[in-house]
Amino acid sequence: MALKEPATAVIRMGEGTTADALSFIGSRRACAVCDTNTQKFAEEYFPALPRFVFPDGWKATDVNAAHLIDQIKSDGIELLVAVGTGTIHDLTRYSAFHAGVDFISYPTAPSMDGFVSSIAAMTIKGQKITYPAKPPVALFAEPAVYQTSPMRLTLAGMGDILGKYISVFDWKVAEAVAGEKVDEDLVKLETDAIDKMLSIDPASPDFHTAVLEGLVMTGMTIQYFGSSRPASGAEHHLSHIWEMHVINEDVEALHGEKVGVSTLIILRLYKSLLDKHIIFRPKDNNVEYLRTAYGDMAEGIAAENTPNPMANITQEKLDAAAPRIRQLIRGLPDPDKLEAFMKSIGAKTEIAQLGLPADPEFLAKTLEFAPYVRRRITLLKLL
């Protein structure tokens, strides 16, 4: 499979990389983008740059990005520096794309895998949509910054990486059932990232670095492939439907925390199928059906799933692929052991810890409707 040439040509992690970032910026008219939490890093490490400060709690929406886009155009900004984590990077890459400028990634915590992503996870009219966006031209990660972040943020990043167990699995299921092409080099990047992270003592500063390196590498798979397919499967779809607040109220849990819990939920579901006949339960993109979960967003969700990616799948095709699917299920980690590890280092492992309803009805609705967040084949969507 021909992979895309990555746009992020410079990736530097280690002491002194801030000086490299300043040298990279040079004389270009640049602006540091941050929020009120990460403003202190922008002021300390990029004191000469003007700052665009988003209020804490602002979401990655097109309406919020419009303020930054206007500032870029009015001030003649040539280069942005994203000083922050998930929301700041999504707002920056989306704005850079629409304003036609470059940006640099400057992570302040190893909390999510979108630092070098070529897509922006935006909320548009309530719907969680991935938009083509501009990946950073460079990433500079200073240990004195990201290693001092709260452990909760690092554990969220760990959850995002653990989710690759499911995203890789679902990609391979789509290959077995529908002939999607899987790039094994990208799969190896992701599995190596998981293995390296799990080999390091979480109490060591090196753990923060291993998590960030893993997030950068898994994020690069999105650039190489041209979509989030290698890095997002059923586990992310659960997180996304919760983040759209169509079946639940807004919660304070971080994206990676949701992905970590979702990974355990999906692992248990998939493992339970090992000795069962997997039944294909196709549903069309009926707007009224989707409205029972998505409300006024049902038309947009139906459009996202058109044409139906499962239109040519039959029970016969699924039965033929069943031996391969069972082989893949056997290769998934034991959810009890993974949960025990996550608990031992303080990571969230239960849906109630996210602030979400813990009743079976809520989980059932999540599992039924989450696959429609993306036009993507996963084993969950087949079910």
Q: Quick one: 145 and 158 in the same domain?
A: no
Tell me, yes or no, whether 190 lies in a domain: yes
Q: Pairing state of beta strands 127-132 and 119-124?
A: antiparallel
Among 149, 164, 179, identify where a domain stops: 149
Answer yes or no: is pLDDT of 178 > 70. Answer: yes
Q: Quick one: 184 and 309 in the same domain?
A: yes
Encoded amino acid at 193, one letter: A
Among 123, 149, 175, identify where a domain stops: 149
Q: Quick one: 204 and 133 in the same domain?
A: no
**Which CATH number fits the domain that encloses residue 319?**
1.20.1090.10
Q: Quick one: 133 and 194 in the same domain?
A: no
Q: Quick one: 232 and 133 in the same domain?
A: no
Mean pLDDT for all residues in the chain: 94
Answer yes or no: is pLDDT of 1 > 90. Answer: no
Where does the pLDDT of residue 130 fall: very low under 50, low under 70, confident under 90, or very high at 90 and above?
confident
14 is in which domain, residue-wise? 10-149
- Give alpha helix (H) positions in 60-199: 62-75, 86-99, 143-146, 151-162, 164-178, 184-198
Tell me, yes or no, whether 1 lies in a domain: no
Tell me, yes or no, whether 94 lies in a domain: yes
Answer yes or no: is pLDDT of 128 > 90. Answer: no
pLDDT in tens, 192-206: 999 999 999 999 999
Q: What is the C-alpha end-to-end distance of the chain, expressed in Å?
A: 29
pLDDT of residue 3: 64
Answer yes or no: is pLDDT of 118 > 90. Answer: no
Q: Quick one: 195 and 56 in the same domain?
A: no
pLDDT in tens, 22-66: 999 999 999 999 999 999 999 999 999 999 999 988 889 999 999
Answer yes or no: is pLDDT of 349 > 90. Answer: yes
Q: What integer is the mean pLDDT of 359-379?
A: 96
Among 114, 149, 184, identify where a domain stops: 149
Q: What integer is the mean pLDDT of 346-350?
A: 98
Q: Give Cβ neighbours of residue 128 (< 8 Å, ≥ 6 apart).
A: 121, 122, 240, 241, 243, 244, 373
Q: Quick one: 156 and 129 in the same domain?
A: no
Answer yes or no: is pLDDT of 294 > 70. Answer: yes
pLDDT of residue 117: 86
Tell me, yes or no, whether 266 lies in a domain: yes
Total count of domains within the chain: 2
Q: Quick one: 160 and 128 in the same domain?
A: no
Tell me, yes or no, whether 57 lies in a domain: yes
- Assign 10 to helix, strand or coil: strand
Tell me, yes or no, whether 172 lies in a domain: yes
Q: Quick one: 192 and 218 in the same domain?
A: yes
Query: What percentage of residues in the chain have a pLDDT greater than 70?
Result: 99
**Which CATH number fits the domain that encloses residue 132?**
3.40.50.1970
Query: What percentage of residues in the chain have a pLDDT greater than 90?
Result: 87
Q: Quick one: 22 and 58 in the same domain?
A: yes
Q: Quick one: 25 and 115 in the same domain?
A: yes
pLDDT in tens, 265-293: 999 999 999 999 999 988 778 899 999 99
Q: Quick one: 230 and 348 in the same domain?
A: yes
pLDDT of residue 126: 77
Where does the pLDDT of residue 2 fall: very low under 50, low under 70, confident under 90, or very high at 90 and above?
low
Tell me, yes or no, whether 2 lies in a domain: no
- Give me the half-sphere count of Cα atoms (radius 13 Å) on the Cβ side of residue 366: 28
Lowest mean pLDDT among 55-64, 102-111, 119-128: 119-128
